[in-house]
Structure 1
């Protein structure tokens, strides 16, 4: 042992990278280890999550990614001559004393170990870990590189990539975090400008670099990939539930120039039978031109002469108003002097407002890290909310141009760059829930940091090319963000950049959009993004899918509830489908929508069949009811009116009839689909309902759940519907629900159907032998049992 220690000391001397243990201290904050290169604090912030902080560089730098006052979990420490063991029930950290090094084990399996750990080199901080030969690394935020990002060295600096298609190393939302095939998430908790090297420079080294910022990281463990994601979200924060209307069609373009244009668009949706839940105003609401007006942040009364009346008229139709805002105050804007006088702008070394030129004009930048600036900025939002504005779109929040030496309350531009959008969303969210406590925030943002989901952030994938190349990476982008807690990442449906008009491409994008978190066609106005301005054929196909989106609202709203309580994303990678499904880690164009649906968008023209990887189990083609055996790749036929869409046997899918918007949503008439197969012996699911807008519905008990279960054998199928009510009633709560239970894959008429032990009447049952559907119609009451005998 003495020889090995001496050998390691010689190696450390040569490499100048090793640290030596001196002593350790245990207190309420965790375990502090003193070395010859500083102190390192270890603490379990969850039994499956451990954080490591290099104290000296981080003493005055609180975390952005973790909530304030996060409670620590108790852990046990044991010591030997050359090792400390710090552990919870399943997760332990082995701390080698000489040379000082950390290894992470979960259920006795090595997950990851430091290479050199923390170090400083010139003006940069470094953090490195060892990689195994066959380890795959997902994550690092929005990039178009394939699911496995190993082998790349990537910038950690949020920056827009206008018109991207099938490859991009740098986009609006970078994350210093990876999910490994070794079953861990590793987060470098530092929002400064930097790099992540995923085995590019050294194939077996994962390295983070940063120009400053907090020197800390945490490792998240779990038994399965979904468990790891849930554990990560448990510490970084769950996404609050959005208003129900956010699941509907959101009309958007760059942009609506006048009140008359906006009102005409809304009336066309109604006239042509397209549901509509919101209209989103781009920058023309505060200025007639693209350049020169940013920072006005008040209605241009020439173009919008009666904005409050317009907002109220839309609201009476069930349509919400969302406004774009940016953090730039141009020197030519109406608020420039006000911003200067109130000291709300980030500054230069002389403590004067830092001004610079970018596309929109000469500008200053609001210092969202400053409390005084936050108050000033929020008052503008608050006044507009009093006018009836229902949601916010925060644009250019990378920030799009951000000088390295600009000074913020929390550091230089480079030190806080990646946290700017995060802090902006935090400002909006926290002030809104303080001043409008019952109203759920709606906050579109294209840039942020790890943990931004806890402030209700809804990211999108930036200014994508309006082309097939732009459509191809959208599933990959959303999945990479979803596994890091950002479950509402979505694309501008139809594509944003350019004037290309391809009806097939447009329809394929809108079809995919039914199964992404936010349904928002948005584009430059050269070609209208709204289907109401296109041909009858395009309208008819698009309408069918928009209607399907609204029929699925109870299912989708339940996914929203599940995400807000567990962290499970709405869009889920295929490797979530099975316990050990590493063979699906690289699948970037097929995914799960909740547990029930498998979706594989069409991303090429003139496709009649698509080869789709289908996980193990029995599945059904949603359109044809064809039974499909999983466990292998299947060739799925499609036409222009369909995409590959499968439903897993054992799934419960609640649906309703189409309404014109969520304001008229009701589950009084509910169709509950159950996809039966004898291979599924037991199954369960649920439906979550509340008023769709009260932020505190769950805490106040203003909700209802319908719990579903199934048991089957060769001769009998038992189904149950069990309501579960919160402690209080809520407005629009269903008093008497008419339930149509639609059981799929019933090959012949049952010999008997019992409802709570009594024979169902013939008029309550419909059997469709050609589609193998059995429909049972009854009034839903407490704890109902349905027994079907074959």
Structure 2
């Protein structure tokens, strides 16, 4: 890895003085005497792209990361030719471009500097491969913090860290290990309560040094390609993440069952074992929606085949599993076994779909089936072919979802663990080597899988899961954090990885609950469940080379605890679904680190354990053995204990009891939390009543509940229900107003509101300005009211 010291010693080249400037609408071009061009593009008033060319030539402008539907447009753009710099202004930013050296400084309208080039852009020729190693260094200020960067297994605050983005099969990785499975070269900077973001859209191996080598320098560089980065201004972190997420995209709504509990292992086979696992869930009355089949369901690990000894009639099995409420998810890897009698291999050979080495022969590598060849998923023809391969599995057999693993691509028995760097790729008409295509290989595989499932699952919604990812992969699928370990340290790692991924625009994420490698004890498994039920994707997965890891595998006490928390997740499904809706609509992370929730409070800048689940719930997992409680930090606001209704004030650290059957869980004052009755699987019961837990607040708070048919695409035609609630609490009264949108008619007629923290006993009740008889609303003391779902205003008066 290149160090900053080496940067200064080696043959680096720098831009010199500007000799030409021109503007073409939102694009400005600054050209230096030695052939460097800075193309500065205003995408929005607070989003700016910086792109550098050397030798006066830009590469073709193409990126897999960008969302086609990104919002563009600005309110103001002016350029001033001053001494010693050009000044570009928008309604949010001032950008100073130095005429003598092309260095850039970005400030807000109050001239508070947000980002400032140190050495700025520089480069050196890559004599081994051609092209340039491109570099950028910026000033790092005292007190400045950094967040994001995807699945890094390190502290949420990256100050003082160095990371590498090169998607890698990292079995049993450890804390701070680099690199891992994902390449998301995006970070959020926080300087003097001003948040900004930088996305370095370069698919080569990239590196970020967050004041690690030099405490006053933050730098990022790539082994090839262009210096091409986007700058986002907040000043709120939420605005930064929203802008990045808008640029790189969001998924469609998943089917609701995908937010349920999933069970997996390497591997459940034969069919009898799969049915035993399914029966175990129903016998223990532990909710579960999906069971996964790992590679052993295949014939000789050949993708798109079935082992007929283990699964003699997969269609019948899948149908019968479906009757009991289980979806079946299958694994598909990228490696295709070299076998002339294998139809998938032969089709790819006949059409020239496999990757080739620089001098022409096919790239070969060993994976589970033995020697394999690998389709070039950066070729649109290959993606179209791959999508069609799912027809039998999805449309005919009824598999509900697909899990793409090993798609870094992982290759066994070679030091690099992956493809040779000279492997050639189409890159959608921009031919390149594996150096450039490696980080997007898994992304393009899962894109092809998504397109196939979307076609063959229709009119239902697809569910796809990936291990490898690059920025923008969230448009296609959920993800998980790879082959972790059954240790307490990995429980901590899972917590920070989820927060980091959500802040990196990728919210549909989870970990292997209990750990993939090694064996958890019952306490660790229970504590992991208590964390993971508050993660957007919730799946147990284990390596299979140790004991069982089903929810009932650790004795009666642990089973009852695990059951309670999985049931809690199913109760909270409408809350989770609403979180997902807001993630898609507004780019709002489904989980929020405390610094994201309140960046003004410096106490939050280095917190790792606590997080906001959705917008209204505060979770702090227990991450060490034999704990009877823990210290945790409460951010701004007032918080009710979910378990006792005790009201606690924020901006303070305190001890919270948390024996093995409890996790510290709190609800924001004024929140209205929607719940469904416990089901064994999504769709088991018709929802005949929406339950809402109402937490009193003196003041006003807004909440939402999003619902639709839970699958299918009618919601895109307006068939959804969005209830917006405004709660206003006063000393002796409570007002709840409802505003409705969408034309989906929910199956229930009543809403049951359960009140927490009400400071008075309920006396008179008015619904839509008319006093009602307590019998008509099933008034239950001061605890609950049952009311028509169509009310506009509920007004409760104290006695």
Note if 1:514 corresponds to 2:533: yes
Q: Is the 8 A contact 1:751 1:789 kept in 2?
A: yes
Distance 2:298 2:121 in 1: 48
- Normalising by structure 1, we get a TM-score of 0.92
Residues 581 and 231 of structure 1, relative CA distance in 2, 3 Å threshold: farther
Report the secondary structure of 1:693's partner residue: coil
Note if 1:134 corresponds to 2:152: no
Q: Is the 8 A contact 2:14 2:121 kept in 1?
A: no
Report the secondary structure of 2:280's partner residue: helix
Deviation of 1:29 after TM superposition, in Å, equals 5.6
Note if 1:27 corresponds to 2:24: yes
Q: Is the 8 A contact 1:43 1:72 kept in 2?
A: no
Structure 2 counterpart of 1:391: 401
Deviates more, 1:90-99 or 1:433-442: 433-442
Deviation of 1:283 after TM superposition, in Å, equals 0.5
Distance 1:366 1:107 in 2: 50
Structure 2 counterpart of 1:743: 755
Q: Is the 8 A contact 2:144 2:189 kept in 1?
A: yes
Report the secondary structure of 1:560's partner residue: helix
Report the secondary structure of 1:296's partner residue: coil
Deviation of 1:383 after TM superposition, in Å, equals 2.6
Distance 2:293 2:266 in 1: 8
Residues 620 and 370 of structure 1, relative CA distance in 2, 3 Å threshold: same
- Report matched runs for 1:190-205 at 5 Å: 190-205=202-217
Structure 1 counterpart of 2:365: 356
Deviates more, 1:754-763 or 1:221-230: 754-763
Deviation of 1:758 after TM superposition, in Å, equals 3.5
Report the secondary structure of 2:277's partner residue: helix
Note if 1:490 corresponds to 2:502: no
Structure 2 counterpart of 1:313: 320
Deviation of 1:35 after TM superposition, in Å, equals 2.1
Q: CA deviation digits over 1:401-421, x for unaligned, max 9? A: 222111111221121111112
Q: Is the 8 A contact 1:595 1:651 kept in 2?
A: no
Q: Is the 8 A contact 2:735 2:794 kept in 1?
A: yes
Distance 1:672 1:129 in 2: 49
Structure 2 counterpart of 1:260: 272
Structure 2 counterpart of 1:451: 472
Deviation of 1:782 after TM superposition, in Å, equals 4.1
- Report matched runs for 1:505-584 at 5 Å: 505-525=524-544, 526-578=546-598, 580-584=600-604
Q: Is the 8 A contact 1:765 1:774 kept in 2?
A: no
- Report matched runs for 1:186-265 at 5 Å: 186-265=198-277
Q: Is the 8 A contact 2:287 2:679 kept in 1?
A: yes
Q: Is the 8 A contact 1:425 1:445 kept in 2?
A: yes
- Report matched runs for 1:464-503 at 5 Å: 464-498=484-518, 500-503=519-522
Distance 2:87 2:272 in 1: 69
Which of 54, 74, 91 matches 1:89? 91
Deviation of 1:62 after TM superposition, in Å, equals 0.6
Distance 2:772 2:596 in 1: 39
Note if 1:303 corresponds to 2:310: yes
Distance 1:725 1:73 in 2: 28
Report the secondary structure of 2:644's partner residue: coil
Deviates more, 1:184-193 or 1:162-171: 162-171
Distance 2:253 2:404 in 1: 19
Deviation of 1:305 after TM superposition, in Å, equals 0.6
Residues 714 and 579 of structure 1, relative CA distance in 2, 3 Å threshold: farther
Q: Is the 8 A contact 2:760 2:798 kept in 1?
A: no
Distance 1:70 1:504 in 2: 45
Distance 1:431 1:32 in 2: 42
Deviation of 1:329 after TM superposition, in Å, equals 1.2
Deviates more, 1:468-477 or 1:750-759: 750-759
Structure 1 counterpart of 2:39: 41
Q: CA deviation digits over 1:252-280, x for unaligned, max 9? A: 11111212211221122112211221111
For structure 1, the residue ranges without an aligned partner over 5 or more in a row are 1-10, 288-292
Deviation of 1:767 after TM superposition, in Å, equals 5.1
Distance 1:58 1:535 in 2: 63
Which of 726, 747, 756 matches 1:709? 726
Q: Is the 8 A contact 1:181 1:582 kept in 2?
A: no
Say how many residue pairs are matched: 761
Distance 2:747 2:460 in 1: 24
For structure 2, the residue ranges without an aligned partner over 5 or more in a row are 1-7, 127-132, 411-417
Structure 2 counterpart of 1:720: 737
Q: CA deviation digits over 1:508-553, x for unaligned, max 9? A: 1111111111111111222222214442222211111111111111
Q: Is the 8 A contact 1:466 1:494 kept in 2?
A: yes
Distance 1:565 1:258 in 2: 42
- Normalising by structure 2, we get a TM-score of 0.91
Deviation of 1:674 after TM superposition, in Å, equals 1.1
Distance 1:39 1:354 in 2: 37
Note if 1:687 corresponds to 2:705: yes
Q: Is the 8 A contact 2:71 2:246 kept in 1?
A: no
Q: CA deviation digits over 1:178-203, x for unaligned, max 9? A: 11112111111101123222222332
Distance 1:142 1:309 in 2: 39
Deviates more, 1:293-302 or 1:391-400: 293-302
Report the secondary structure of 2:566's partner residue: helix
Q: Is the 8 A contact 1:67 1:236 kept in 2?
A: yes
Structure 2 counterpart of 1:8: none
Report the secondary structure of 1:642's partner residue: coil
Distance 2:421 2:337 in 1: 19
Q: Is the 8 A contact 1:667 1:737 kept in 2?
A: no
Report the secondary structure of 1:575's partner residue: helix
Distance 1:382 1:48 in 2: 44
Deviates more, 1:23-32 or 1:599-608: 23-32
Distance 1:100 1:547 in 2: 58
Q: CA deviation digits over 1:453-479, x for unaligned, max 9? A: 122x21211111112122121111111
Distance 2:175 2:378 in 1: 35
Deviation of 1:328 after TM superposition, in Å, equals 0.9
Structure 2 counterpart of 1:592: 612
Structure 2 counterpart of 1:405: 422
Q: CA deviation digits over 1:275-302, x for unaligned, max 9? A: 2211111111113xxxxx3443211112
Deviation of 1:613 after TM superposition, in Å, equals 0.1
RMSD: 2.3
Distance 1:570 1:190 in 2: 26
Q: Is the 8 A contact 1:654 1:672 kept in 2?
A: yes
Which of 753, 762, 765 matches 1:753? 765
Q: CA deviation digits over 1:605-649, x for unaligned, max 9? A: 111121010012211111111121211012111111111001110
Distance 1:308 1:57 in 2: 56
Structure 1 counterpart of 2:4: none
Note if 1:644 corresponds to 2:664: yes
Structure 2 counterpart of 1:778: 787
Structure 2 counterpart of 1:17: 14
Report the secondary structure of 1:663's partner residue: coil
Q: Is the 8 A contact 2:574 2:675 kept in 1?
A: yes
Distance 1:738 1:243 in 2: 24
Structure 1: 4+ residue segments shifted above 6 A: none
Note if 1:121 corresponds to 2:132: no
Deviation of 1:496 after TM superposition, in Å, equals 0.8
Q: Is the 8 A contact 1:340 1:353 kept in 2?
A: no
Residues 67 and 759 of structure 1, relative CA distance in 2, 3 Å threshold: closer
Which of 406, 426, 429 matches 2:447? 426
Q: Is the 8 A contact 2:185 2:199 kept in 1?
A: yes
